[in-house]
Structure 1
Amino acid sequence: MKMLVNIILPIEPFNSLVRSGKASEILGRIIDDIKPESIHFTEIEGNRAATMIVEISDASQIPVVAEPWFLNFEAACEFKPVMTPDDLMRADLDKLAAKWYDVHLL
């Protein structure tokens, strides 16, 4: 299952790691290990942040993705399942609407 992972990197310890020259090396190791489908760096709530898409086939893989961020950057990680357009089409929304839509609710 594809997961969107938001990673919020607090100002510290990230600033200290940047000053010591270690931040880039640690980021590279994490990204090489996780192998996200995509990763983009941004800002969330005034903090450095990253958003990535990863493939999770089993719930036991969540710590594999999150722990490097927790342990190295004291980051917060949020996991959200996401769908591709093909996934959404396979959900057969028309059939679900026919089953669950009740005209009397309007």
Structure 2
Amino acid sequence: MRVMLRAHMDTAATNESIKTGALPQVVQQLMDRVKPEAAYFGLHEGVRSCWMVFDLQDSSQMPSLMEDLFLQFNAEVEVAPVMTAEDLAKGLAAMRSSGQS
């Protein structure tokens, strides 16, 4: 299932990880593992944040994928299912054909 991960990372923890060089390593390891179709980095609500869209094969993957974000960056993490415009069109067409509209 296509999901979007959003992580707000603690400023003090990320400051330290920048000094030690851990931030780019942890982010790269996560990207290598999830192989995102899109990844963005910036500020949200005043803190360093990242957004990644990727295919989550099984929900049991979540602990191992997210743990470094918690441990290294004291991050607040959300994972939510998302759709492309094509997925939405397909879903809406299925609703029309089943008489749900």
Shift of 1:77: 1.0
C-alpha separation between the residues in 2 aligned to 1:76 and 1:4?
Answer: 14
Question: Share of identical aligned residues, percent?
Answer: 28
Is the partner of 1:61 in helix, strand or coil?
Answer: helix
Q: Which runs of 5+ in 2 are unaligned?
A: none
Partner of residue 36, structure 1: 36
Gaps of 5+ in 1: 101-106
CA deviation vs aligned residue, 1:4-48 (integer Å, no higher than 9, x gap): 111111102110111223322222222222322211101111000
**Corresponding residue for 2:64?**
64
Q: Which amino acid in 2 is paired with 1:79?
A: V
| CA deviation vs aligned residue, 1:35-78 (integer Å, no higher than 9, x gap) | 22211101111000001101012211222331221122111111
Return the letter of the residue paired with 1:90: K
User: Structure 2: how far apart are the matches of 1:8 and 1:64?
Assistant: 18
Task: Report the Cα offset of residue 94 of structure 1.
Answer: 2.9
Moved more, 18-27 or 72-81: 18-27
Instruction: Provide the secondary structure at the position in 2 that maps to 1:99.
Output: coil
Deviates more, 1:70-79 or 1:87-96: 87-96
Q: Which residue of 1 aligns with 2:82?
A: 82
Aligned length: 99
RMSD after superposition: 1.8
